[in-house]
Chains A and B, each alone.
Chain A
Amino acid sequence: MKKFSITLMALLLVAALGGCAGGKSSEDKSSASASTVETQGNGTTQDQTPAVDPKYGGKVVVGVQQDIDSLDPHKATAAGTKEILFNIFEGLLKVNENGSLICAVASDYSVSEDGLTYTFTLRDNVKFHNGKNVTAEDVKYSLERASGLLDGTVLVSSLQTLKSVDIVDEHTVQVTTGSANLELIYSFTTAIIPAGSGEAEGSNPIGTGPFSFVSYKPQEGLVVKKNPDYWQEGLPYLDEVNFKVVSGADAALLELKGHSIDLYSYLTDSQAAELANDYQIIAAPSDALQALFLNNKVAPFDNVKVRQAVCYAMDRDLANEFVTGGDGTIISAAMLPTLKDYYVDLNDVYGTGANVEKAKQLLAEAGYPNGVEFSVIVPSNYEAHVQTAEVLADQMKAAGINMSIELVDWNTWLEDVYRQGRAYQASICAITCDMTPSYLMVRFQTGHKKNFINFASSAYDEAYKKAEASMDLQEKAKYYKEAQKIFVDEAGTAFIQDPPITIALNKNLSGYKFYPIYVQDMSTVYYNNK
């Protein structure tokens, strides 16, 4: 359903190598008007309800899992905040539901042949929520602030290669970067804010998005109202959206049952079943990779045979059935199936069910004829991971693998597993994904900062480096696939599935779109009756 589109990668390549054509192709998409929104996504929008005439007005309450970490779009880092701020702020470019880049504050752009200079043409009459037009000055300020050119603090790390932002004329801004990078264009989704706002008028976050800020209360949530001057004609439909912080999955379920929330994502399968009569339930891949992460440096997982034994012993079909109602997509390597060009199906290597004999044999070969014992750390706030752990712990006993579960809170997990410590044995969690294949693969290079499983394989490093350096799509894909194969053969970690994301939506609402990134786009949602 949610497609990471090939369009994006193609676009990136064209943009970097060929110049302004990219800007043009994205312009086509951005002109999508209100009447075509329903059909355009072909499968990416909810499709239960037949097309109805969109109705304007109304309020919607969206339940969100985490509180907002910052109202400053450049400083916000939590995915849960970005998903909300998507409605208030826009960059020169923005991502659409297909994962393609479309023009937002910019109306066109081009990239020089050496990939070092980006030229953006600003759209006419894009207004900030304070009524002022967006000027080249504002764009310069926003990019300089985010990239650290303004005061030395880099706020958006992917922009740190920027060298200068220059105003060519009122409508044109030129950005130069220190090194050519295929994936830099994606960073121009960074929010455009009024010049000087970081210092002076911060009391009220002002952007150019479909909704403008009304109020924010810690722990309660954020309220936005319709931006009547929004540049996309006919959008948004709703008058007001309240992003309400819900304290946990259980509380969310209660609130849904009490109909005090209209929209909530990230339901577990059984919660969704509980709500099936009262809500529209929509499922799509979440584009996150869930795995039983094995610490390659710590016994018993310093032995490749033990890692392989776990891969064989794991009944991923069962976990999928129990936890996600069979809606998940089984995966084996660090690549999303939706990244079709780069993905290679390696599920046959260990099989998706349990292979007890093979697991036992490998354990015996590894010197553990009586089985192994280890502890798995699971962040307690993620119900799906906890449930997966329970299923696997029970099911792997048959193969002599005894897994004890340790639940910790999220910050403890970060400290023990992700950051310095890394003394854990195993952990069940998911990596959320970016739009680029490298985002997932880069971290498993030997000694990489984010390589929290301590995977070390020179063959993998080599294949990855070749993939990264390649400027040819096919060659790039070939090396990425090779790296995945190496990773799976080495059983770097036991990947489980791309779990589905399950959303409950008020039956009277239509127009909801899934994105391949973590956002809640409320601009196309509307009430379909009364």
Chain B
Amino acid sequence: MKKFGAWFQKQNMYLLVGLLMTGLAVVLGILSFFWTPYGTTTMSVAERFHAPSLRHLFGTDNFGRDIFSRVMQGIGTTVIVSSLIVLISASAGILIGAVTGYFGGILDEVIMRITDAVNAFPSILLALVVISILGSGKQNVVLSLGIVFTPSYVRIVRSEFIRLRDSDFVCRARLMGVSKLRILFIHILPNIWSVFWVSVTIGFNNAILAESGMSYLGIGVQPPDASLGKMLSDAQGYLGRAPWYALAPGLTIVWIVLGFSLLSEGVRRKEEKKK
């Protein structure tokens, strides 16, 4: 038994398992754009509430739709939406965090207070505001959650820039007359990647959970497009009759989030080993 544990540790199974889990999810999600076993909105009175079987891997729902096909589509939506959310919030975070961290002063103070406020503001209300200005739909979920998550990146980037702005290599560059823009993004930025990537993987998970949470509350992805959160909330009404309907999207979310957590743990361990 002990041997197995040691072997497990050596192999960095976290990375491997994490890659496998996320890989499978991403492949299924991308595949769903081209092919699903059944139509994701095809309804059938005769096929309602079929339990999982070889024909319908995850069973069917209250409209007789194939849950596996819908879960596939849901993964696709979730992966794309969360990637975009991370992209937006992380880029905005770098931009704002770099400027405020490096220059400090009154601008820093003002922006920090605003990010504090946004941070403390109930994210549901914030999302509701953005959605009601722009209307609902995938792209607006991306935008509103992008805004909601920006402050967390601002914080991390800013503190890193504060740490590095007085370091020797930055001072030297400044003395040499390197432009501020260049110092910010060519000199300092590459030095914060290691810290930054960890927060990106965490942010990815938060984005997945937030997107499914919003869809669960009915303000996210709109039906008939499948989304894991909305499926779960629809399924709640049929817990006694068709527990698989709730379990399929629920466990899928757990699967994806867990996959990403293991992946980031694996990456962290790999980095540690290198050192």
Contacts and interface: CB of A to CB of B under 8 A. Distances in A.
Task: Check whether chain A touches chain B (CB < 8 angstroms).
Answer: yes
Interface in A257-299: 257, 268, 270-271, 273-274
Interface stretch (A3-11, A234-242, A405-413): A405-413
B62 interface: yes
A521 to B, nearest CB: 27
Interface of B: 41-43, 45, 62-63, 132, 135-137, 218-219, 222-224, 233, 236-241
Complex A-B, nearest 6 residue pairs according to Cβ-Cβ distance, in ascending order: A380-B218, A250-B236, A394-B41, A274-B241, A390-B224, A270-B62
A257 B240 contact: yes
Nearest to B128: A409
A271 B237 CA distance: 6
B222 A404 contact: yes
A253 B136 CA distance: 28
Contact of A405 (B42, B222, B236, B237): B222
Given A250-B233, A394-B41, A270 B223 contact: no
Given A253-B239, A406-B136, 16 more contacts: A249-B237, A250-B233, A268-B237, A270-B237, A271-B237, A274-B237, A274-B238, A322-B45, A383-B237, A387-B63, A390-B63, A390-B223, A390-B224, A391-B43, A406-B135, A406-B222
Interface of A: 249-250, 253-254, 257, 268, 270-271, 273-274, 318, 321-322, 380, 383, 386-387, 389-391, 393-395, 404-409, 412
A386 B223 contact: yes
Contacts of B219: 380, 407, 409
A504 to B, nearest CB: 13
B241 A270 contact: yes
A257 B223 CA distance: 27
Nearest to A269: B62
Nearest to A278: B240
B237 A253 contact: yes
B116 to A, nearest CB: 28
Nearest to A408: B136
B interface SS class: loop
A391 B63 CA distance: 8
B223 A405 contact: yes
A394 B42 contact: yes
Contacts of A318: 45
B240 to A, nearest CB: 5
B237 A322 contact: no
Given A253-B237, A274-B237, A274-B241, A322 B43 contact: yes
A220 to B, nearest CB: 22
Contacts of A409: 218-219
B222 A407 contact: yes
A412 B233 contact: no
A321 B237 contact: no
20 contacts: A249-B237, A254-B239, A268-B237, A270-B62, A274-B237, A274-B241, A321-B45, A380-B218, A383-B237, A387-B62, A387-B63, A390-B223, A391-B43, A393-B41, A394-B42, A395-B43, A405-B223, A406-B135, A409-B218, A409-B219
A386 B218 CA distance: 11
B222 A393 contact: no
B41 to A, nearest CB: 5
A273 B241 contact: yes
Contacts of A390: 41, 63, 223-224
B237 A407 contact: no
A390 B41 CA distance: 8
A253 B242 CA distance: 14
B46 to A, nearest CB: 11
Nearest to B135: A406
A19 to B, nearest CB: 53
A217 B223 CA distance: 35
A375 to B, nearest CB: 9
Contact of A407 (B41, B62, B136): B136
Contacts of A405: 222-224
A409 B135 CA distance: 12
Nearest to A273: B241
A12 B239 CA distance: 49
Contacts of A391: 43, 63
A386 B135 CA distance: 17
Given A273-B241, A321-B45, A407-B136, A394 B222 contact: no
